[in-house]
Every structure is written in C-alpha cells, then in structure tokens.
C-alpha cells in the first residue's frame, strides 16, 4: 500500500505549500500537484497520479474540494478509484473510503459541498440582480451623499468669503 498525495491550486498565483505540508505530515510517498480549476474535465497531474497508482494504494487529498466540486464528478472519481481498488483519504474531513462509514461520509459531504456551492452561486446571482434593479431605478447624474455634502460645504465657504470681503470694505 502506497500513500499518494494530490494537491491542487486553481491559479498559478496561488501556492500549494500548505497542502504539501499536510500531505507530507500524512506520510505520502509522492505528491502530484495540479494547477487547474476543479471544474475542468482534464487535469494532467491528476491523470498522471491515476496512471501511477496500483491496486490497494491510497490517494490522499487535503480537502474534498481539491478533488472536485460537483457531486456527479466526485462520485464518478470515487467510482473509478473503487473499481481500481484504490482507496481515498481526505484529511480535513476525516474521510477514508476503505471503510463503509468512510464511504457514507464521503457521499454525505460531497452532497453538502455541492449544496453549499449552489447556495453561494444563487446568492451571487440574487445580489447582482438586486444591484441591477437598484442601478436602473436611480435617476439623474448620480450625485451621491458625498457630493451633496461637498456642495453644501462649498456654499458655506463661498458665503463666508463674501461676508469677509464685505466686512473689510
């Protein structure tokens, strides 16, 4: 049985150092690192890791979302691993698919992760729609409260300088 780690970052601006540290602490013999969105169908480093694995190896991830985000994709990948007799461990969530309770936990958390992602997307769409409605109902050139305060201040200064000019004559 070989422990193989997989770290994934979404953009090259990010760093996988924290994932590497956690995978090293889990005693992974080899760590594959991918730079790709979890939504992409092809992940070369993930595919390389799968090619490297043998039956009874264990693939280790730090978080469930490093594997994938949609439940269909997570279940598909778990099925591929199970067919090849490869177990899955997710450190953060304490998942180990070598046990029945670990497989149950995997499916429950995968469903929860997808639900959470859908809620975030829904809230984002609602917020954008509300902002569009708010923008559409505004009239005029868009002077905000700050601009109105500035205009009142200028008026007071102008009156004060006029009063000073009149009193010095």
Summarised one tens digit per residue, pLDDT across range 154-165 is: 777 677 665 554
Collapsed DSSP state (helix, strand, coil) of residue 140: coil
CA 17 from chain centre, in angstroms, equals: 17
Looking at domain 3-115, its CATH superfamily turns out to be Resolvase, N-terminal catalytic domain (3.40.50.1390)
Token pair, residue 56, equals 């009874």
Q: How crowded is residue 3: how many other Cβ atoms within 10 Å of its Cβ?
A: 17
pLDDT: which is higher, 110 or 1: 1
- Predicted local distance difference test score (pLDDT) of residue 78: 85
Q: Which of 10, 12, 70, 101 is catalytic?
A: 10
Are 49 and 59 in contact, with CB atoms under 8 Å apart? yes
pTM: 0.61
- Predicted local distance difference test score (pLDDT) of residue 122: 92
Question: Has 10 been annotated as catalytic?
Answer: yes
- Which residues make beta-bridge pairs with 90? 61, 95
Using left for φ > 0, alpha for ψ between -120 and 50, and beta otherwise, residue 62 falls in alpha
User: Which candidate, 71, 78, 3, 68, places its Cα nearest to that of 36?
Assistant: 68
The domain spans of the chain are 3-115
């Amino acid at each position: 049985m070989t422990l193989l780690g997989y770290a994934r970052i979404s953009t090259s601006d990010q760093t996988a150092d924290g994932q590497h540290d956690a995978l090293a602490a889990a005693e992974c013999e080899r760590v594959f690192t991918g730079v790709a969105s979890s939504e992409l169908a092809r992940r070369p480093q993930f595919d390389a890791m799968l090619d490297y694995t043998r039956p009874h190896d264990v693939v280790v991830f730090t978080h469930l979302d490093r594997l994938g985000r949609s439940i269909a994709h997570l279940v598909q990948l778990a099925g591929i691993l199970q067919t090849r007799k490869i177990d899955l461990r997710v450190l953060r969530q304490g998942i180990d698919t070598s046990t029945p309770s670990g497989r149950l936990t995997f499916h429950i958390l995968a469903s929860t992760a997808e639900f959470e992602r859908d809620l975030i997307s829904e809230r984002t769409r609602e917020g954008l729609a509300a902002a569009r409605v708010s923008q559409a109902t505004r009239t005029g050139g868009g002077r905000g409260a700050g601009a109105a305060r500035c205009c009142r201040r200028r008026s007071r200064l102008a009156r004060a300088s006029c009063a000073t000019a009149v009193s010095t004559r």
